[in-house]
Homo-oligomer: A and B are copies of this chain.
Amino acid sequence: MAPSRKIPVAILGATGTVGQRMIELLANHPWFEIAALTGSDRTVGRPYGELVNWKLNDAPPPAIARMIVQPSDSPLDVGIALSALPTDVARTVEPLWAEQVAVCSNASTYRMASDIPLIVPEVNPDHIGMIERQRSERGWKGCLVTNPNCASIGIVMALRPLHDAFGIEKMHVATLQAISGAGYPGVASLDIVDNIIPNIGDGSEEAKIESEPLKLLGSLSDGRMIPASAIISAQVTRVPVVDGHTALLSIKFARRPDPIDAIDALVAFRAPEIVRNLPSAPEFPVIVRSEWDRPQPRRDRDAGRGMSASVGRIRPCPLLDLRMVVLAHNTIRGAAGGALLNAELLVAEGIVS
């Protein structure tokens, strides 16, 4: 499954916080090596280390710091492009690259497009089946694959085994989302220290959480995606936490499970073998916690090297069927790591070589 030589990877939009995480996650990666970094006009032609406002620990690796930033809109001869581009830039740039290169994008631009797979490898790896049709209809030699919104991803990892076993019909979601989800400079400290902001993106975040999980839990028919038919209501907030999105779920199922049955389904949940063996895949996609006060962002966000979702407080709901709390690292699992795992899946499936 592993490639015979390291595959060259370009990071599109490498200077932002998601691009920085991609660089961090690709250090010493067994399959990939960073071949190019792209940025906006302001940054092109300059050494990455001179212009990046590095917001992760320490500093970028010296070899990366010396790389000269390339323009985003001129596709390069690499095996894979990991895209951390802004939504509007992605609109024109990602299709350019996809003509030749496999693009794994964290941008929201094409997530809900009918021929673009939205993939979480542990949840719906079969959706890469859409690529064949995508290539033939778009005339691409490469492809474009997306990962979901940073808040949707943890939720949908918990939902997968529950949906399979009991059928999700309705769900109420309330989120408490970390500041890193807004990028940099992102949320002003005057807005969030000793404070809560009861909305994100003027409602657009809620719209994503209400739609993306349905595509992720949907099924393929003849290369076309048929979304799941559940109804989701989302209420989002921004909280003074650095990393880690918390979601409070209340779910109605087609077949109401006892909490213990839901716990059993979550504990037993494993990714397909091809996914389990990907370099960035966590040992357990879902970690069930039994403490009365977990999961917590600071204590659980790094579970599975930031790639696992943690689920706790699984209990009945007087209104729907079950309630639970889900937490995942929003910039690892929910962004850079999500795109990277998709890239690894494309390699393992032989779509990129």
Asked if B174 and A242 make an inter-chain contact with CB atoms under 8 angstroms apart, the answer reads no
Pick the most buried of A188, A189, A246: most chain B CB atoms within 10 A of its CB: A189
A163 close to B (CB within 8 Å): no
Given contacts A187-B189, A189-B187, A189-B189, contact A298 B235 (CB under 8 A): no
- Complex CA gap A189/B184 in Å reads 9
Given contacts A233-B318, A240-B240, A318-B231, contact A190 B185 (CB under 8 A): yes
- Complex CA gap A180/B298 in Å reads 13
A194 close to B (CB within 8 Å): yes
Query: Which residue from chain B places its CB closest to the CB of A187 in the assembled complex?
Result: B189
Asked if A174 and B235 make an inter-chain contact with CB atoms under 8 angstroms apart, the answer reads yes
Asked if B241 and A194 make an inter-chain contact with CB atoms under 8 angstroms apart, the answer reads yes
- Complex CA gap A155/B296 in Å reads 25
Given contacts A233-B320, A237-B246, A250-B172, contact A192 B189 (CB under 8 A): yes
Asked if B191 and A246 make an inter-chain contact with CB atoms under 8 angstroms apart, the answer reads no
Q: Which of A129-137, A196-204, A342-350 contacts B (4 or more CB under 8 A)?
A: A196-204
Asked if B293 and A199 make an inter-chain contact with CB atoms under 8 angstroms apart, the answer reads yes
Q: Which of B188, B231, B299, B303 contacts A189 (CB 8 A)?
A: B188
A276 close to B (CB within 8 Å): no
- Complex CA gap A170/B250 in Å reads 13
- Complex CA gap A2/B34 in Å reads 37
Interfacial chain B residues near A21, Cβ < 8 Å: none
Q: Which of A53-61, A86-94, A143-151, A332-340 contacts B (4 or more CB under 8 A)?
A: A53-61
A312 close to B (CB within 8 Å): yes
| Copies of this chain assembled into the complex | 4
| Prevailing SS type, chain A contact patch | mixed
A117 close to B (CB within 8 Å): no
Asked if A189 and B193 make an inter-chain contact with CB atoms under 8 angstroms apart, the answer reads yes
A176 close to B (CB within 8 Å): yes
Query: Which residue from chain B places its CB closest to the CB of A200 in the assembled complex?
Result: B293
A114 close to B (CB within 8 Å): no
Q: Which of B55, B170, B172, B235 contacts A190 (CB 8 A)?
A: B55
Chain A residues proximal to chain B, CB less than 8 Å: 17, 55-58, 170-172, 174, 176, 179-180, 184-199, 202-203, 210, 231-233, 235, 237, 239-242, 246, 248, 250, 292-300, 302-303, 312-313, 317-320, 323, 325
Q: What are the nearest 9 A-B pairs in CB distance?
A: A174-B174, A185-B188, A233-B319, A195-B298, A194-B194, A235-B248, A189-B189, A198-B325, A187-B189
9 A–B contacts from the bound complex (CB under 8 Å): A55-B299, A184-B188, A184-B190, A185-B190, A193-B194, A198-B246, A231-B318, A237-B246, A240-B240
